[in-house]
Structure 1
């Protein structure tokens, strides 16, 4: 069984992922893998440099994320070319980790912030969505030091709350206390374990 986890900015998805790990799940973090596959010395980084030139490297020979962001957010074609390099590498590494996690008997959950945006929901048997109202996202992100305009731009660039909820098998409402959140996560974890055991 393939399980995906997603949620908008400042929804509390990281807390949910940490709670799941504490319960015994293996979390495959797609953002972390995306950084690993273009780390210094990797074929992924070499491919990015071949496509975009040495200007995307720092003095230390690492990927300059700010520079890449400037290029790909100003040019949809460039963003697509970057995705064609990075996405297959992330997919292959995720598949390796998923297989290893399943072999260990753990419940494997793919943490993919843009799961809905990139159209991956149909590839999962179950999708967990961490949900809060937009104004709660804005308030929490500002509390972490982001400006309101920056937060709203991020939210606008992500799937809408309605689009995420439409893809959900399970919804975790994160407007209550941390204890309430953890109880809901445990309910879902236990149900998923039962589903795996019964399949």
Structure 2
């Protein structure tokens, strides 16, 4: 997928700014309407998240390490970084892009993180996922499917390889969703930020 700069005026675009300690200090005007649209209007209100660590909103430690490393690289290089990713809904594949932009003066360590929708395609059949990442470590969950936080590919522990989420459309229902634990697949770990 070709990486492109997103249009900041798009209604499908949202951003936040983190300080040098990766705490959220600002959000874009589109933040709350998109949070409501995504069903998280109460929990992601600006007044409830400002001042909190970004890490509090990323459940997987492995995913947080990838994001934190990218933030550090952005600050060190003093240049924007981009990464495509997927953020699917039960009914649609949503191809997204994350841009990390260091803000001047660079000595402040401020980074703007913006997310934008590149394209959206419907699934042939809805794909229902239940995120069990928060339960990881509290109980043994070896039967759960791994889900990459960036490309959304899935790995069934019985098969041992990563597959596109569409392959799992017939293995779940809204009453019995696929139970997954978020991580980062080997391909996404190796992929460079543009």
TM value normalised by structure 2:
0.23
- Highest RCO, 1 vs 2 (Cα 8 Å, sep ≥ 6): 1
Hey, which of these two has a bigger chunk of helix by percent?
1
More strand by share: 2
